[in-house]
Structure 1
Amino acid sequence: MLNKLSETIYYLSNQDDRERPTLGLVCGDQFSLVIDAGNSTQHAQEFLHEIEKLNLPPIKYLVVTHAHRDHILGMNEFGAITIVNRQTNELLKEWQSYKFDDQSLQQYVHTHQISAKCMEIIQAEIPNRDSFQLNAPQIIFDNTLTIDLGNKVCIIEKITSTHTNDSTIVYIPDEKVVFLGDAAYGTTTNSLFHFKQASLLPMIEDIQKYDANMFLLGHESICDTVEMTIYWEELTTANQAVTSTSLENAIACFKGENQRDPNDNELFFLKAFVNDRILQSQ
């Protein structure tokens, strides 16, 4: 079921048990724009089925926020002009070369190109896998792109991110709503979950320059300004305390700077920033 954020913005909530991110829909007077394609053809088709229940302008554009498979594998279903930044396009080329038969998928799992869970979802939710091939995007931009859907402007921007190097966000100025995809999250490298320290403050600056009241995230669905402010404060406070590969030192520094123990979120972030230090030292 679609959630209605406003008269012109809808979203389908994330389902983390099925590795499905939030999908967005922005409607103008003439056209609609979809944000992220879903983790499979089935995911995309379920989203489209919900959209068809409403009397909305036709979908003309699809924006993919980054090239992780849970955001891209439903691309073919929308029949829309697909928009990606140039770096995402380069990453999609690898996915376009993939084969999706069982033997190929098992090989990708063996070589750690995809996870076993990813293979299970593809096998269950993408029919005709022997002939399935991901389509190429039609619009490739470098930094910023503005789309007018008919009295509804969407600003599409590639930003610095702690999650990937190819993150795109979508801002709707008249609604003060921004779709962040997974941009504000950390990532996993060599089995270590980490937040990229070098990217944190530039990312927050990129996002906070937009006057937004509501934030749609890939795996939390929706946050308001208060929730995002707390999130940024916890991240930056933890970040400031991490100057080495020692979690013990980071916790001690945090206590010294803040005169209190870190809360559960801050402790999680401290570990993630320490992991980033460890990865950078390797």
Structure 2
Amino acid sequence: MLNKLSDTIYYLSHQDDRVRPTLGLVCGDQNSLIIDSGNSTQHAKEFLLEIEKLNVPPIKYLVITHANWDHFLGMNEFDATVIVNSQTNELLKEWQSYRFDDNSLQKYVNTNQMSAKCMEIIQADIPNRGSFKLNSPNVIFENTLTIDLGNKVCIIERIKSTHTDDSTIIYIPDEKVVFLGDSTNGRTTNSLYHFKQSLLLPMMKDIQKYDAEMFLIGHESICDSNKMNIYWEELTTASRVVKSTSLENAIECFKVENKRDPNDNELFFIQAFVNDRIVQS
């Protein structure tokens, strides 16, 4: 079921057990725009079936927020102009060369080109895999792109991100809503989950310049500005105390600076920033 955020913005909630991110729908007077296409043919079809229940203008655009498989593998199901930034386009080229039969999928898993979970979802939710080939995007932009859906402007921007180097966000000014994809999350390198410490403040600057009141994140519940501010505060407080690869030193520094123990979120972020130091070293 689609969630209604306003008269012109809807979203399909994430399902972490099925590796399904939040998908968005923005409607103008003339056209509609989709944000992310889902992790499979099946995911995309279920989203489209929900949209058909609404009386909305035709879908003209699809924006992919970044080149993680769960956000783009449903792309072929949309009869729309697909928009990506230039780096996302380069990353998608590899996927466009993939074959999706069982032997090929297993080879990609064995060579760490694909996760075992990704293979499982593809096998379950993409029929006709023998002939499946990912489509190419239609519009490639560098930094920013503005789309007018008819009295509904969407600002599409590639930003700095702790999650991927190709993150795109979509801001709807008159609604004060921003779709963040997974941009505010960390990333995994060599089995270590980490937040890129050097990109935290640049990312926050890129996002906070927009006057947003509601934030939709790929694998999180929708956040209002208060929840988002708490998230930023916990992240920055954790980052400030991490100066080496020592978790113990970081926790002790936190206690001295803040005169209290870190809460569970802050402790998780401290570990992630320590992991980043380990990755960088």
Q: TM-score, normalised by structure 1?
A: 0.99
Q: Where in structure 2 are there 5+ consecutive unaligned residues? A: none
Q: Show the counterpart of 2:165.
A: 165
Query: After superposition, where does 1:41-190 map in structure 2 within 5 Å?
Result: 41-190=41-190
Rounded to whole Å, the distance in 2 between the matches of 1:77 and 1:259 is: 54
Rounded to whole Å, the distance in 2 between the matches of 1:189 and 1:78 is: 32
Residues 1:251 and 2:251 are matched in the alignment: yes
Counterpart AA for 2:4: K
Percent identical pairs in the alignment equals 79
Q: Where in structure 1 are there 5+ consecutive unaligned residues? A: none
Q: Show the counterpart of 2:4.
A: 4
Rounded to whole Å, the distance in 2 between the matches of 1:161 and 1:210 is: 15
Rounded to whole Å, the distance in 2 between the matches of 1:98 and 1:261 is: 48
Counterpart AA for 1:167: S
Rounded to whole Å, the distance in 2 between the matches of 1:86 and 1:221 is: 29
Counterpart AA for 1:7: D
Counterpart AA for 2:50: E
Counterpart AA for 2:54: L
Rounded to whole Å, the distance in 2 between the matches of 1:218 and 1:63 is: 13
Deviation (angstroms), 1:221: 3.6
CA offset digits 1:14-60 (Å, max 9, x no partner): 00000000000000000000000100000000000000011110000
Rounded to whole Å, the distance in 2 between the matches of 1:135 and 1:198 is: 34
Q: Show the counterpart of 1:261.
A: 261
Deviation (angstroms), 1:114: 1.1
Rounded to whole Å, the distance in 2 between the matches of 1:131 and 1:240 is: 50
Structure 1 stretches of at least 4 aligned residues deviating more than 4 Å after TM superposition: none
Q: Show the counterpart of 1:215.
A: 215
CA offset digits 1:177-211 (Å, max 9, x no partner): 00000000001000000000010000001000000
Tell me the matched-pair count.
Answer: 281
Deviation (angstroms), 1:115: 1.3
Deviation (angstroms), 1:271: 0.3
Residues 1:272 and 2:254 are matched in the alignment: no
Rounded to whole Å, the distance in 1 between the matches of 2:99 and 2:198 is: 35
Residue 76 of structure 1 aligns to a residue whose secondary structure is: helix
Moved more, 212-221 or 23-32: 212-221
Rounded to whole Å, the distance in 1 between the matches of 2:12 and 2:174 is: 21
Counterpart AA for 2:220: E
CA offset digits 1:255-278 (Å, max 9, x no partner): 111011000000000000000000
**Cα root mean square deviation, aligned:** 0.4
Residue 244 of structure 2 aligns to a residue whose secondary structure is: coil
Counterpart AA for 2:123: Q
